[in-house]
Amino acid sequence: MLDYETLKFIWWVLVGTLLIGFAITDGMDMGVGVLLPFLGKNDMDRRVIINTVGPHWDGNQVWLITAGGAIFAAWPAVYAASFSGFYMAMLLVLFALFFRPVGFDYRSKIEDPRWRNAWDWGLFVAGLVPALIFGVAFGNLLQGVPFHLDDMLRPHYQGTLLFALVPLLNPFALVAGLISLAMLALHGATWLQLRTERPLSERARAAALRLGPVITLLFALAGLWVAFGMDGYQIVSGPPHGALPDPLAKEVVLRHGAWLAIYHQIPKAMAVPALGLAMPLLTALLAAVRLPGLGFITSALGMTGIIGTAGLSMFPFIMPSSTDPNSSLTVWDATSSHLTLTVMFWAVVIFLPCVLTYTVWCYVRMWGKVTAQAIAANSHTAY
């Protein structure tokens, strides 16, 4: 049986993997939704765009549900505190996501241009809002969330529910949100370039050429901001990593440059932010030379680098507290029991390969260019 400390670390890796998997799969759908009103010049163009992701979006969204379930089971304290601090933001994401199933399934059932145009913008909102809010959430985690734990380890959030969104929309968090939005839009653009024909694929190519450099510039700006304009969190004392969870048993201080400590301790970790900087530019280059298949892979690697950089920089912190640093939740003290982590680990070992195999099979079976001719010939079954 794996020891408790090892399991805590494994679940940090697994939750991060689920979040990256969600970004690569469902992020592609959101990116396509963001681009839908701009790349689709007429109704048939937009139907082609929707049909590139229509058969897959609901399966891809399961990654988000699975990540949420994993956080609930593996990090219950994080789940409780995050739903207090980010309650309004999460509701906003949820309401935006409501547009997706209705938009995908009913948008083309009625031929009224006003009906279809309304749902096109609904799908745009369903892609824009979650992409932006997820980035804003990561930006706020790096700065610390205003909550504290009482003696019973109950989280208390500073602020009122009505204005809970206002402090979250600070300058750094907005930069992080723009990185997330541009990152998913680039991923969607490479997917459209790969799955559509001219002239639509050329419009997607032009979008990828613009988005790649923007992501690199924004990511570099955020890195400089973290390095020179932001204090990080550091544990100076606490119980052994394999001890029973007790978030209040440690001492945490804020130190300038603490978020960069891991790159000094493990220089090879610099490869992760390097991916985040280089891969968007390489994706744009591959789009320029019309190699969208490779571009889709480099886009996924870039997303892995950007999300991985946030996780590595904060490690072992999951949800730092700006009002009481000692209440910060970490990989070592916000987890479930040893038994729970063990049972969940073996469930992942058994079922994750099955899920991945089925997902790959679905993409293989439904592969190919989506064309206007195919939609016209199957107008009642196409999205």
pLDDT in tens, 317-327: 999 998 999 99
Question: Is the pLDDT reported for residue 225 higher than 70?
Answer: yes
Tens digit of pLDDT for each residue in 82-108?
Answer: 887 778 888 889 899 999 888 888 888
Strands (E), 186-279: 231-237, 251-256
Report pLDDT for 82: 85
Task: Report residue 21: phi and psi, to 5°.
Answer: -60, -40
Query: Percent of the chain, pLDDT > 70?
Result: 97
**Which of the four pLDDT bands, split at 50, 70 and 90, describes residue 163?**
very low
Distance CA 51, CA 58 (A): 13
**Which of the four pLDDT bands, split at 50, 70 and 90, describes residue 382?**
low
Q: Identify the three-state secondary structure at position 114.
A: helix
Full-prediction pTM beyond 0.95?
Answer: no
Q: Residues 120-143: what's their mean pLDDT?
A: 93
Task: Report residue 149: phi and psi, to 5°.
Answer: -105, 135
Structure tokens at 143: 């700065």
For 55, the enclosing helix (H) or strand (E) is none
Contact present, 252 and 326 (Cβ < 8 Å): yes
Question: Is the pLDDT reported for residue 151 higher than 90?
Answer: no
Task: Tell which phi-psi region holds residue 144, choosing left (phi > 0), alpha (psi between -120 and 50) or beta.
Answer: left
Tens digit of pLDDT for each residue in 165-210?
Answer: 667 788 999 999 999 999 999 999 999 999 999 999 999 999 999 9
Report pLDDT for 359: 85
Question: Is the pLDDT reported for residue 299 higher than 70?
Answer: yes
Answer positive or negative: Cα dihedral of 278, 281, 284, 286. Answer: negative
Tens digit of pLDDT for each residue in 345-380?
Answer: 999 999 888 888 988 898 888 888 888 888 887 776
User: What value does the mean pLDDT of the chain take?
Assistant: 90
Radius of gyration over every alpha carbon of the chain, rounded to an integer in angstroms: 21
Q: Identify the three-state secondary structure at position 125.
A: helix
Closest of 209, 197, 262, 274 to residue 234, by C-alpha = 262
Residues contacting residue 227 through CB under 8 Å, at least 6 positions apart: 257, 259, 260
Tens digit of pLDDT for each residue in 54-89?
Answer: 888 888 888 888 888 889 999 999 998 888 777 888
Contact present, 34 and 127 (Cβ < 8 Å): yes
Closest of 97, 111, 126, 109 to residue 36, by C-alpha = 126
Q: Residues 21-32: what's their mean pLDDT?
A: 92
Report pLDDT for 166: 61
Distance CA 372, CA 323 (A): 56
| Cα–Cα distance list, 376 to 40, 111, 210, 280 (Å) | 16, 13, 32, 35
Closest of 55, 6, 9 to residue 29, by C-alpha = 55
Angle at 89 between CA 146 and CA 84, to 5 degrees: 45
Question: Is the pLDDT reported for residue 2 higher than 90?
Answer: no
Report pLDDT for 184: 96
